Each structure stands twice: as structure tokens, then as C-alpha cells.
Structure 1
Amino acid sequence: MATTTGASRLRELMVDSPTSVGARRRAQRWELFQQLFPSLDQMRVLDLGGTTEAWHRAPVRPAEVVVLNLREPGETSEPWLRPVLGDACTARQVLAAAGAPTAYDLVFSNSLIEHVGGHAQRAALAAEVHALAPRHWVQTPNRYFPVEPHWLCPGLQFLPLGARARVAAVWPLAHSRPDTRADAFAEVQWTELIGRAEMRAYFPRSELHHERMAGLTKSLIAVAR
């Protein structure tokens, strides 16, 4: 197993540094996003599961963005950007209670649907996406890509739950090491990757874009425009 220093360096090269493989992939994703929604600068956008920090760094600027996040939507002084704390699976209710709009031009969501807690919650999230805007972009890592993207661990998503927790507790390429075994168990319980069949079921009338790496589908994006 890699040393802590070596693992940190490897993770930087793969996903964390501005010149990493992950950073280049994110830049390509933004390019695709702009191509698919050329009138983005005129749109009111709802970001489910994002952060204000991500929009501060983004190379695109919608007319207005509301960021809804269960734990840390972030802070901002930008007049076009508004954070709201709450559950994306009940987005309309949360937004109404916060005095935020409940109708948008576009719903945007990156790497959220695999974290909401099982099929019923994923179906609820999809229902909110469909109800809140006529257009959407919903991205998720592909379960069947050989490397689990949150831990950068080959095949982790295919192990039984207990084995996943044991690996997650010690795997050196994770973004942060859990403090306890219970924390590791909770982290893997809250990460349930899905594949093409599930995305087709949740977004049956959407285009399904495949982000590929080495010829394999790394991520799936449901798009309505």
C-alpha cells in the first residue's frame, strides 16, 4: 500500500491539482455543458447538491444560480448566486420555505444522485428535477467503471458492504481518512453508484451522454434541453 506522502501525491496527480487528470475531465465537462446549453447566460439555474465555491470557479456564468445543498451550500456575496440549505429530494418544499424560486430554466446536478440514500430517494430526486425545470443536466459516476471514483480504489463498489467499510477505513487515496470504523461504514453506505439502466429509468426521455476514459464509460449524464 502507498505511503501517506506517496498517496497524497498520486491523488493530486489524478484528481486534486489544477493540472490533474480529473481537472482536465472537469474542464471538458464544462465545455460540453456550454455546447449543450448555449443560452446559459440568460438562464435561471438550480444546482442540486453543488456549492457556491464551485460556481465561483466555474468558467460559465448563468444569469442566476440557486445552490441547494443538504450540508454546506457555501457562502457568497455575488448577487447572481444564492445558497440554500436543505434536502434536494424535497427541493420544491425547501425552496418555497426559503423564499426561493420554485421554477427554473435548468436543473444542474453533478455527482449527487449516488449519495441520496437508495432507490426511493433517487426516484424522489428525479421527480424534483423533472418538476422544477424543462431542462436538466444530471451527472453521476458510472458504477461499472473499474475504479470507484470517491476512493480511487479499483473494484471497491463491487465488494460487500462490510468489506467496503474495512477498505475505506484504511485506503490511502481517499480524499480524507475517516476517524472511526463507524464513520467509514457510514461513508460507504451513503455512496451507492448506479449505472445506465438506473439512469434510463429515472430519466426516460433524456439524452444519455457517456463520458469515456480509456474507451470505458466513466460517467453518465442525463440531459434534457
Structure 2
Amino acid sequence: MNLARRLHHLIGDPDQRNSFSSRRRSLRFQELLRRFPDLRSMRVLDLGGTPEFWRSAPVAPAYVTTVNLDPKYDPDESWLDHVVADACEQATLGKTPGDYDLVVSNSLIEHVGGYQRRRDFAEVVRAAAPAHWVQTPNRYFPVEPHYVAPGFQFLPVRTRARLVSRWPLAHERVYTVEDALAQVLTIDLVSTAELRHLFPGSDIWHERLGGLSKSIVAVKA
């Protein structure tokens, strides 16, 4: 493994147990447990999540359904289910309101594609359960988390695309500017103001690093 890929694993890969990203995710999970101390007995809908996340979690809920567009997941556990569906379209979820106690979503809302899609996603969250935890990287944290690049999110799109094709810490390597353009356009970081607008009445919790708000979470308990 070359140096750039090794650095990516150590810093930005949440699936690497000792990576910086994995440690931050563990800290957020502790806050999730503080907000929802009965998590072990709850029925959870995880929008954008994976079964592996819950297998490795310190607390397993009574039942979890993960929803994303990836068909590769087919959990064997009786308490885990996976649905291939669009998290912004309530009709595709295959469940009715009342089936879940809590909606969890980590780092998905910035990828769904535009403000109207984010509104649709928020409506799905509110309809699916009485409580939610919706986390997303803070747009105004100085380091863009997907590329581990200072100020990257504030650059023009074409400039970002040119840099991504050469940037060694990108989360997924691309080799042409057009492929890089397609990649950067899938990320639209959300501000505190927009998250509060999308989830009125929710508490906005700030995960801080060095005194700065690294990620933001809309929480309704």
C-alpha cells in the first residue's frame, strides 16, 4: 500500500478500527447512547447505513432495518434486515409509520442530491418514527471530510474536479477530470442553518474538534 492510501486509511476510513474517522464515529455513538439510553430495546430504521455498522456497534438495538441503494447486503441475523431503496422516497421503504421507534442516519443527507431531495429525505425521517438522529459533516468545518482537504468545499466545482484527480487522500480514486466532476457533484455539505430548517423542533448537537463544529446532528428524542 502506498503512502497516500495508508494515510487515507489512518485518517478517513471509518471501517478501519484505529483510524481517526473510526474514533470520531465511536464518540458520536456514545452521544447517541446518551440521547437514547433505551436503544437496546428500540426498533431502528437506518437510512444510508449498513448491517456491518450495527454488528460492530457497542449496543445492538432490538431490531434494525438498514436502507440504501447497495444490493450486496443480505444479513443472516434475525434482528437485522436490509432494504434496497431510495431513502428519499417513502413509498419504497416497505414499512409503514409506527414500525420504528428511531430513525438513524449518518453522513447521508449531504449525498442525496440537492435541496428538494434533502427536503424529501427529511419528510421520510419524520414520518418513519417519532425520534431521529440525523448526522452530517458541517459545511463550515475548515477541512472537507471526504477528501481531507482544507477549504475544498468552497472551491469552484471545476477546480475541485481538477484537484480530485490528483489529490492523494481522496476517498475514491478517479483518473479523469470528467469522472472527478461526477464524483464531487455527489457531495453537497449542509450547514447548521439548513439542518435546523429541514428539522424544525429538533435539537442541533455539534460534534466539536479543537473547539470547532466538525459535524452536526439533528436530534429528536
Q: TM-score range by the shorter chain?
A: over 0.9
Q: Contact between 1:95 and 1:102, CA under 8 Å: does it hold in 2?
A: no
Secondary structure, aligned partner of 1:122: helix
Residue 6 of structure 1 is aligned with which of 3, 7, 17?
Answer: 3
- Counterpart amino acid of 1:113? I
Cα distance in structure 2, aligned partners of 1:101 and 1:73 = 24
Deviation at 1:73, TM superposition (A): 6.4
Cα RMSD after superposing both structures:
1.5
Q: Contact between 2:12 and 2:148, CA under 8 Å: does it hold in 1?
A: no
Please give the per-residue CA displacement for 1:66-99, whole angstroms capped at 9, x wherever unaligned: 1110234622100111000010000x31123xxx
Cα distance in structure 2, aligned partners of 1:46 and 1:218 = 24
Closer/same/farther in 2, CA of residues 83 and 179 from structure 1, 3 Å limit: farther
Secondary structure, aligned partner of 1:170: coil
Q: Residue 93 of structure 1 aligns with which residue?
A: 91
State the percentage of identical aligned residues.
51
Q: Residue 109 of structure 1 aligns with which residue?
A: 105
Where do 1:152-191 residues align within 5 Å? 152-191=148-187
Cα distance in structure 2, aligned partners of 1:49 and 1:153 = 24
Cα distance in structure 2, aligned partners of 1:205 and 1:118 = 22
Unaligned runs of 5+ in 2: none
TM-score by length of 2: 0.94
Cα distance in structure 2, aligned partners of 1:221 and 1:5 = 35
Q: Residue 27 of structure 1 aligns with which residue?
A: 26
Which moves more between the two structures, 72-81 or 215-224? Answer: 72-81
Deviation at 1:101, TM superposition (A): 4.7
Which moves more between the two structures, 11-20 or 208-217? Answer: 11-20
- Counterpart amino acid of 2:84? L
> More helix per residue: 1 or 2?
1
Closer/same/farther in 2, CA of residues 72 and 168 from structure 1, 3 Å limit: farther
Which moves more between the two structures, 33-42 or 170-179? Answer: 170-179
Q: Residue 52 of structure 2 aligns with which residue?
A: 53
Q: Residue 66 of structure 2 aligns with which residue?
A: 67
Deviation at 1:177, TM superposition (A): 0.4
Q: Contact between 1:73 and 1:83, CA under 8 Å: does it hold in 2?
A: no
Q: Contact between 1:147 and 1:155, CA under 8 Å: does it hold in 2?
A: yes
Q: Contact between 1:52 and 1:73, CA under 8 Å: does it hold in 2?
A: no
TM-score by length of 1: 0.92
Deviation at 1:175, TM superposition (A): 2.0
